[in-house]
Amino acid sequence: MAVATMARSDGDPHHVRGGEVHSGPAPKRIVTGYGFWIFILSDMVMFSAFFATYAVLLGQTAGGPSGGQLFDLPNVAIETGFLLASSFTCGLATIAADARNKLWFQIAMAVTCLFGLAFLTIEGREFASLVARGAGPTRSAFLSAFFTLVGCHGLHVSGGILWLLTMMAQVFAKGFRADIQRRILCFALSWHALDIIWIAVFTVVYLLGSAA
């Protein structure tokens, strides 16, 4: 392993290759993307606190309904499918932006927006049905933790959809300028990151939560 690394030292970014000088600051696209990546990771740290809270309070139902009695798993599977599909179309929008194809960018972003809205609609109906059945966030510590965690993810998706619409408008009005391209990069990062957090949500909250 070490030998292989040594042999490939010309591919190592820390080694300046002969004749070529990498001086000066990194391009703005890398600095912006990296900074936003750090922000995404800090957002995940915040979510980890909510996940820890949920895991600790999972059994504290105060005599109320438990996850197994409340959760509708087929519904969650459909919700997951919509968010996954939106992550894919968001990737297509990234490719279209790199190819500077306005039409395909707008189509892919519009489809992403529709999938995101479908996800939010299913989540909203689930919340409404829980509250209607007397299982609102005030019922037990378990339900408080549930609504905080899943609601926080839902708020992130709502914010993401507003950002998505802003990017569609900016590309429409200003085209693929360098600053717009950086914003598209950051938007795609955050949208894919929300999907990663949703993997943890459906696993921990719904699948593990309904078994407990």
Partner 1 sequence: MTNGHHEIDHNIDIAPGDEHFEGGIGERVLGYLTGLGLAILLTATSFFVAGTDLVWQPSIPVALVVLAIAQMGVHLVFFLHITTGADNTNNVLALAFGVLIVMLVIGGSLWIMANLNHNMMPMDLLMQMQR
CA 96 and chain centroid, separation: 20
Nearer to partner 1 (CB atom), residue 30 or residue 128: 30
User: What part of residues 134-163 is at the interface with partner 1 (CB under 8 A)?
Assistant: none
> Is residue 128 within the footprint of partner 1 (CB under 8 A)?
no
H runs (alpha helix) in the chain: 2-7, 28-57, 67-70, 73-98, 102-132, 141-174, 178-200, 209-211
> Is residue 38 within the footprint of partner 1 (CB under 8 A)?
yes
CB count within 10 Å of CB 71 equals 18
Nearer to partner 1 (CB atom), residue 58 or residue 135: 58
19: left (phi over 0), alpha (psi -120 to 50) or beta: left
Give the range of 113-121, 132-140, 156-164, 202-210 binding partner 1 by CB under 8 A: 202-210
CA distance 176 to 179: 8
SS3 136: coil
> Is residue 28 within the footprint of partner 1 (CB under 8 A)?
yes
> Is residue 34 within the footprint of partner 1 (CB under 8 A)?
yes
In the list 55, 114, 131, 168, the residue contacting partner 1 (rule: CB under 8 A) is: 55
* Count, residues in the chain: 212
SS3 24: coil
Query: Least Å distance between CB 69 and partner 1?
Result: 15
**Residue 156 identity:** H
Query: Least Å distance between CB 14 and partner 1?
Result: 9
Nearest alpha-carbon partner for 210 in 78, 80, 65, 81: 65
Nearer to partner 1 (CB atom), residue 88 or residue 163: 88
> Is residue 12 within the footprint of partner 1 (CB under 8 A)?
yes
Burial label, 160 (beta-carbon count in 10 A; 0-12, 13-18, 19+) = buried
> Is residue 207 within the footprint of partner 1 (CB under 8 A)?
yes
CA distance 148 to 18: 55
User: What part of residues 95-124 is at the interface with partner 1 (CB under 8 A)?
Assistant: 95, 98-99
Residues within the interface to partner 1 (CB under 8 A): 8, 10-13, 17, 20, 22, 26-30, 32-34, 36-38, 41-42, 44-45, 48-49, 51-53, 55-56, 73, 77, 80-81, 84-85, 87-88, 91-92, 94-95, 98-99, 177-178, 181, 185-186, 188-189, 192-193, 195-196, 199-200, 202-204, 207-208, 210-211
